[in-house]
């Protein structure tokens, strides 16, 4: 059963879980508070990491646009 729960967690993190799988995971977490607390930390970390990646991508894109504008005005 534990392997199945980790498979559900993995699918959730990869954004591949179906609604049924998410409901099953939610029920399992409600029935096991210790597992829920551990996974909450994992989910928070995972979501925070995504935000950092997105912020970094935006900064890189802005830098590219600045270079393009600089190159366009000097030619």
Domain residue limits, the chain: 2-74
Mean pLDDT by 10 residues, the chain (75 residues): 88 92 93 85 75 72 80 67
Q: Check residue 19 and give its pLDDT.
A: 96
Q: Are 45 and 9 in contact (CB under 8 A)?
A: no
Task: Give pLDDT, residue 25.
Answer: 93
Q: Is 9 exposed, middle or buried (0-12, 13-18, 19+ CB in 10 A)?
A: buried
pLDDT at 44: 82
Predicted structure pTM score: 0.57
Give the pLDDT of residue 53: 66
């Amino acid at each position: 059963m534990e392997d199945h729960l980790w498979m559900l967690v993995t699918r959730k993190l990869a954004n591949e879980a179906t609604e049924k799988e998410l409901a099953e995971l939610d029920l399992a977490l409600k029935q096991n508070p210790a597992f829920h607390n551990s996974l909450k930390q994992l989910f928070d970390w995972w979501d925070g990491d995504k935000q950092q990646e997105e912020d970094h991508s935006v900064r890189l894109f802005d830098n590219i646009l600045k270079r393009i504008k600089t190159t366009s005005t000097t030619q």
